Chain A
Amino acid sequence: MSSITVDGKEYAVDEEGYLADLSTWVPGIADVMAAQDDLTLTDEHWDIINFLREYYEEYQIAPAIRVLTKAIGKKLGKEKGNSKYLYELFPYGPAKQACRYAGLPKPTGCV
């Protein structure tokens, strides 16, 4: 199994780059994963990542895209409550890329 190094500590990730043990997540993991994708995380990214983590804590799954866009719209204004905004932040898709940074498991199925 491969791993990523954050602040000198190794974290195991699966073959698709998702954190193997979700309970070991620290914010630095998101920064390192983003750097590997040539992204620098801004406050806007962190709004999404934090929401994902809170939602996962309660429901044990990532939110539906619609739930996410609505929540972001409520919090940050309607012009940001759409999937276009999310794709601008996470070009590989909010469900997969943002979940990976947030230490959530990969959404599976026909998505």
Chain B
Amino acid sequence: MAKEIETPEVKEYLDVPHIQPGVMQGDGPFIAKPEHQEPLGFPGELVPDWQNKAIDKLGELKSKYRSLQLFLDICVKCGSCTDKCHYFLGTADPKNMPVARQDLLRKVYRRYYTIWGKFGFTRKLVGAQELTREVLDDWYNYYHQCSECRRCSVFCPYGIDTAEITMAAREILDSVGIGMKYTNEIIAKVFKIGNNLGLPGPALKMTLEDLEEEIEDDTGVKVELPVDREGVDVLLITPSADFFAEPHIDGLIGYAKVFHEAGVSWTVSSYASEAANFSMFIGSYENMKRQAERIRKAALDLGVKRIIHGECGHAWRAAYSFWNTLAGVGHGGDDAYSRELQKQLDPAYPVPQHICEFTWDLIQRDVLTLDPSENDHMTLTFHDSCNVARASRMGDKPGGQFEIPRNVIKAVCNNYVDMPHHTIGEETYCCGGGGGLLTDDLMEVRIKGALPRMQALKTTMEGKGVTHMAAICAICKTQFSKVMPYYEIGMDRIVSVHQLVSNAIKLTGQED
């Protein structure tokens, strides 16, 4: 099948590699087919006159998003970001230095949208370049070696959000008909079926009934996992991977037990059975809005008072930072549907609320009976997922997104150790599969991009006796279970935070 992938060697310290120009040159991920493109409003294949259309699109985007124009203008090439990217550290390809990757777009911007780029004699001086097919192919390849994790932005003295440049590049590519199969096929599936997996309502119901049976077998207590139940308090919006994959599904069992013990009625929706919003990864505002509006419709149809969000990283960013203005989900939207939703929502609670916030609140109020010794066979560490760490918050204090998940883990586990400080919190390394790159055709990028996290995890396992890593993102969980074996770490060493809660929680009436 694919070429043999060489797993990078994990050393005691993470070296900045000697550059290897062109080592990750390639065709990029599989290209979307017309049936994946057209439901998103994109041309099915590369359009005639693509060059002018791409340049026009760049012009449109930089006018629409003033941040983009700013980020294209103000980079001074200081180099702070160069060794901050996990893909550069893992691949050594200099085009994966964030400054160089973003310059693939900047040089075209300079050619067509700055005065210096218009004249032959200054063009070279400012590094401006025509948009050729070669440049377009480079965009496709290298903008799919960025997970939009924004670690580099933390270190940029100007605060340039390079993820926004990647998103713009992907949007330009989509607009001329070269989309990425993985993301666009999935978004089309959400519009058709309601979730990334393509899991139809009857299969969702069957899966959840099966889980109810499993919980009852384990504990002797009937815990419900309702679908489309009207008039309940909470609509749970969670990644569809929680219904399908491991360890995700153990997290879902954890949420169900927490709701049960809190006595809060809840449901999932078969219409909006997906938290993920991959339209964010491709920078498509229109599609992101369409995805968010499904959640608003489900909330209205089911008459819920609160919306709680499961363990999904980028989706928490989409929910926390964008739902309100995209679709009036939350307090403060101002259109007919939003106003209707406001009347329905309970103002005593934040909308959206993260499941970790919900559980932590119950723990603080002593509502849950917990036995942390149930997790004594493990020593845990926590992987901060990039979109939670750098693009959102939890609770009511800065840094709540770092503290609250850790507080939950520490309340349900006796053994907890952090990885080195420069690899967690705001400076967390991406899992290597975020931003829409979690596809088998990018396996080399994913394995190599995981190096910094694997290095931090491995040294913490060896030095501090950590056995398992917990995460609150479906992409992170899948990526780790897939790439950890390449680094000689068992695939079962990645766990869901609410899986740990599930292990420790004692249900009322539970048999021992």
Contact residues of A with B, CB < 8 Å?
15-17, 59-61, 63-67, 70, 83, 87, 95-96, 105, 107-111
Contacts and interface: CB of A to CB of B under 8 A. Distances in A.
Contact of B214 (A16, A17, A70, A95): A70
Interface stretch (B146-154, B203-211, B367-375): B203-211
Contacts of A111: 197, 241, 244-245, 478
The DSSP consensus for interface residues of chain A is: loop
Given A15-B30, A61-B197, A65-B249, A107 B244 contact: yes
B244 A59 contact: no
A67 B206 contact: yes
A40 B440 CA distance: 23
Nearest to B243: A64
B200 interface: yes
A107 B246 contact: no
Interface in B187-220: 189, 195-200, 202-203, 206-207, 210-211, 214
Contacts of A15: 30, 441
Contacts of B185: 108
A66 B196 CA distance: 18
B136 interface: no
A65 B197 CA distance: 13
A15 B441 CA distance: 10
A17 B197 CA distance: 19
B178 interface: no
A25 to B, nearest CB: 18
Interface residues of B, number: 38
A2 B477 CA distance: 32
6 contacts: A16-B30, A64-B244, A64-B249, A108-B182, A110-B245, A110-B276
Contacts of B243: 64
Given A16-B30, A110-B239, A111-B197, A70 B210 contact: yes
A63 B478 CA distance: 17
A-B complex: 5 closest residue pairs judged by Cβ atoms: A109-B196, A110-B474, A59-B203, A110-B241, A111-B245
B475 interface: yes
A61 B249 contact: no
B240 interface: yes
Contact of B197 (A16, A66, A70, A108): A108
B19 interface: no
Given A66-B249, A83-B246, A109 B240 contact: yes
Contacts of B478: 110-111
A107 B478 CA distance: 13
